[in-house]
Chain A
Amino acid sequence: MVGLIRSFRGYVRIRVDGVSPQRFLNLCSVHDISLWDIVSDGNCYELNLSVSDFFRLRPIVKKTKTKVVLLGKRGLPFRMQKWKKRKVFILCSFLCVIGLYAVSLFIWDIRLVDEGRLTDEMLLQFLQENGIYYGSYRDGIDIDAAEKKLRDEYPFIIWTSFKVEGTRLFVYVKENEQIKWNDTAQEDSKEPGSLYATVDGTVVSIVTRNGLPKVKIGDAVKKGDVLVDGEIPVYNDDETIREYMYVRSDADIRLETELKYHKEIPLDYEKKVYTGNEKKTYYFRVHNNSFSTAGIPGFSEYDIVTDLQQAKLMNDFYLPLYFGRITYREYQMEAISYTESEGKSLLNYEFEKFCKTLQQKGVQIVEKDVKIEKNGRTLHANGKILVEMSDGDNKPITERKQTGETEIE
């Protein structure tokens, strides 16, 4: 720090020679002249002192009968003298500093940290709708309001945190996995409604928490049938209906149902075969304007592989400048055929993948009956899967019976 201040003020390096140069040093010390980097070869001394102190040396030099030789001028004031001839350089440096400062006022990188159901695209779209995007003014972002709005928009989000570091915005999101995506709006709703079957099947189990069950275990139901009714009749002593109570039905119902499965793959297909011809170009992008060093290559069919990097100064100072390399890889489509066993194993693999997806959704597979048949040059997998799954679509009751109804919340 001291060195920086000295450089800013400017200093000189001198050589002191004479009969008693030590006396020169001591007199400087007495006159409050600071010296530094004192090096001696035995006969003379070389040392640094500030410019203002240099002009105070005359009486000391006279008194000690020493000889002072100026060896060099260092620091900003002397450098400025040289820079006078390089006005354009100084101007550009100044503009560069101003430009960097201006760039630092905006957001140039958005990092999303979410391991749940919200995709990056959805989050970016939300941010965009709320005025947060690449290039938005950093101090104009109302972090608290944006966090609250994000939680309000997606009720399954239990915690959000927005953090600005340099020109980067970090968005942390934590979701509640217990709350279903589609039911978020309905969960909170207390509007009376009935549960309807969404598939044909047989009732395996029913646990009703609210509403009037219309089916029992073993009943066969069809798509659209009422499973639990939100309209509950209240009877008089003479068993006539006095009124209807309207509630929001709530029940865990599992239905056994049959799913149809069909998948086909052609035995003849085309595959990309890379020829090995490649063309590389360099790519630059300044905010939304891009430049590349060469045009599109002369290949008829090719893949484009882009390796893009964002420029940054230090850790968090990201700039709206992207650079990278584009590789065009030529390929040709070649006709290739599966053997029948290859095709069958591929269909089996697809079927297993389908079953795994069902299980992940909470569907229990009871029985599988899928057969693979060959029809010309195509393999078909057809069959039925007997599954046990949760069902019940809550639909609001729109028409109410006029018998002096009462609504229970």
Chain B
Amino acid sequence: MGKTKLFEHAKNKVSDTLKLPKDLAKGEALIGLTGREEVYIENYKGILECTPSSVVIATGRCRVQITGKDLKVDYYTNDEMKIEGLLHQITFM
């Protein structure tokens, strides 16, 4: 087992034992949906692509692609962003 994997394993163990929230311990993104027209995202790193049909967001562990129609970023701050539009698909890449 390499050093990185060992560290990752230990981190997982500690966070599981202490029951720490995954978003804090592992840097996972929090994604909340309201129907199929609103999506709230927290704990992200940045926007990689933003078009009316697709928004790609970089998170700590993967990329999240949201596809849909007439997509627009309602607000974008350091902590949270909200995307509005008709959602078709959310893909983790």
Instruction: Enumerate chain A interface residues (CB-CB to B < 8 A).
Output: 22, 25-26, 28-30, 32, 34-42, 45, 47
Q: Is chain B's interface secondary structure helix, strand, loop, or mixed overall?
A: strand
Give A170 Cβ to nearest chain B Cβ, in Å. Answer: 43
Looking at the complex, which of B20-28, B31-39, B72-80 is the stretch in contact with chain A? Answer: B72-80
Number of chain B residues whose Cβ lies closer than 8 Å to a Cβ of chain A: 15
Apart from A22-B50, A37-B75, A40-B50, 5 more pairs, CB < 8 Å: A26-B45, A29-B77, A35-B76, A38-B73, A38-B76
Of B46, B51, B72, B73, which is within 8 A of A26 by CB?
B46
Determine whether B52 belongs to the interface, using a CB cutoff of 8 Å to chain A.
yes
Question: How near does chain A come to B68, taking the closest CB pair, in angstroms?
Answer: 13
- Chain B 70-91 per-residue mask, 1 if CB under 8 angstroms from chain A, else 0: 0011111110000000000000
Report the separation of the CA atoms of residues A48 and B72 in the bound assembly, to the nearest whole angstrom.
12
Asked if B10 is an interface residue, CB under 8 A from chain A, the answer is no
- For the complex, give the distance between the alpha carbons of A41 and B48 in Å: 15
Residues of B within 8 A of A45 (CB): 50
Interchain CB contact under 8 A, A37 and B77? no
A385–B65 Cα distance when bound, in Å, is: 99
Nearest CB of B to A64, in Å: 12
List the A side residues contacting B52 at CB < 8 Å.
39-42
CB neighbours (8 Å) of B45 from chain A are 26
- A–B complex contacts, Cβ < 8 Å, 28 sampled: A22-B46, A22-B48, A25-B46, A25-B50, A26-B45, A26-B46, A26-B47, A28-B76, A29-B76, A29-B77, A30-B78, A34-B75, A34-B77, A35-B73, A35-B77, A36-B74, A37-B73, A37-B75, A38-B50, A38-B73, A38-B74, A38-B76, A39-B52, A40-B50, A40-B51, A40-B52, A40-B72, A45-B50
Nearest chain B CB to A14's CB is how many angstroms away?
A: 14
- Cα distance A36–B81 in the bound complex, in angstroms: 9
CB neighbours (8 Å) of A26 from chain B are 45-47
On chain B, the residues within 8 Å of A38 by CB distance are 50, 72-74, 76
A37-B72, A38-B72, A39-B72 known; A32-B78 Cβ under 8 A: yes
B46 nearest in chain A by CB position: A26
The answer to whether A35 touches B50, judged by C-beta atoms less than 8 angstroms apart, is no
- Measured CB to CB, the closest approach of chain A to B66, in angstroms, equals 13
**Minimum distance in angstroms from B26 CB to a CB of chain A:** 21
Complex: how many Å from CA A41 to CA B70?
10
B76 touching A42, Cβ below 8 Å: no
Which A-B residue pairs are the 10 nearest by beta carbons? A26-B46, A38-B73, A36-B75, A35-B76, A40-B50, A42-B51, A34-B77, A39-B72, A22-B47, A29-B78
- How distant is A301 from chain B, measured CB to nearest CB, in Å? 69
Least distance between A284 CB and chain B CB atoms (Å): 48
Taking the closest CB of chain B, its distance from the CB of A19, in whole angstroms, is: 14
Contact partners of A47 in chain B: CB under 8 A? 73, 76
* Contact between chains at B74 and A25 (CB < 8 Å): no
Query: Chain A contacts of B74 at CB under 8 A?
Result: 36-38
